[in-house]
Chains A and B, each alone.
Chain A
Amino acid sequence: QSVLTQPPSVSGAPGQRVTISCTGSSSNIGAGYDVHWYQQLPGTAPQLLIFANNNRPSGVPDRFSGSKSGTSASLAIAGLQAEDEATYYCQSYDINLPASRVFGSGTTVTVL
C-alpha cells in the first residue's frame, strides 16, 4: 500500500480537463516536501512530467500543470488528447521512510 494515495483511474473526453490527486501526510507532502509527477505510456519507462510541484521540463506541453496544498498535490491535464492515455505517478520525500523517496499508487487516464 502506497504512502501517497492516487485515484486508480480517471477519464475524460478529448478536449476536457482532468485532474489527478495525490494525497499524503504530515511526514511527506504536508511537511513541505516537493511533489513530482511522471507519465508512463504503455510498455515504456516512466518519464518526468512535472518537477518541484509545478515546473515542466523542456518539451512537456503547457497543458500539463501541477499544484500543491497542505498534504495533497494535483496534476491537471487541460485539453485532453488521445496521446495522454497513460498512467501517472506522483513522487515525494518522506522523513519517516528508509531511503526517503516514495511513489504514489498511480492513476490511469483514459480518453473516452
Chain B
Amino acid sequence: VQLLQSGAEMRKPGASVKVSCRASGYAFKGYYIQWVRQTPGQGLELVGWINPNSGGTSYAQRFQGRVTMTRDSSINTAYMELRGLTSDDTAVYYCAREEGHSGSVYLDYWGQGTLVSVSA
C-alpha cells in the first residue's frame, strides 16, 4: 500500500491550491481517504474525508465552504482543493487511508505530506 502525494506548492494569499494523492497496492474504492493538515510546530487537524466509491464527502467545520475533495477512480487518485488561502493555511497536508468501521476509523497508511506555503 502506498499513497503518493504531489509536490510542494507556493501560493499568494487569496489563491487556491489542489493537492493530489495517488493510491496503489489496494482497492482504491474500498477505503475512505482522510485529509489532515499540520501547521508549523502544531498538531494534527482534520480537514475532511472522501468516500472514493460514491464520491461522498464530509468536511471539518472550519474548512466548509473553502475546501472541495474529489477523486478520479480511473487513476486511483484523490484530490483536495483549498480556496481563499491565507498565511494561516501554510501547513503540511497529508492524505491517509481510513481503516475500520463507522465509529472506529483509524489511519493505517499515510502519504508523505505536501507542504503548502502561502505568502505575499
Q: Which of B46-91 contact A (CB under 8 A)?
A: 46, 48-49, 58-61, 64
Contact with A along B99-120 (1 / 0, CB 8 A): 1100111111011110000000
What's the least CB distance linking A9 to chain B, in Å? 13
SS class, residues of chain B in contact with chain A: strand
Residues of A within 8 A of B61 (CB): 97-98
Q: A46-B94, A52-B100 are in contact. Are A102 and B46 (CB under 8 A)?
A: yes
Q: A45-B113, A99-B48, A101-B46 are in contact. Are A57 and B58 (CB under 8 A)?
A: no
What's the least CB distance linking B10 to chain A, in Å? 20
A64 at the interface (CB under 8 A from B): no
Give the number of residues in B that approach A within 8 Å (Cβ atoms).
Answer: 27
CA–CA, A51 to B107, complex, Å?
Answer: 9
Residues of B within 8 A of A91 (CB): 106-107
Contact with B along A56-75 (1 / 0, CB 8 A): 01000000000000000000
Residues of B within 8 A of A99 (CB): 46, 48-49, 58-60
Cβ-closest chain A residue relative to B104: A34
What's the least CB distance linking A104 to chain B, in Å? 8
Are B43 and A47 within 8 A (Cβ)? Answer: no
CA–CA, A34 to B36, complex, Å?
Answer: 19
Binding site for A on B (CB under 8 A): 34, 36, 43-46, 48-49, 58-61, 64, 94, 96, 99-100, 103-108, 110-113
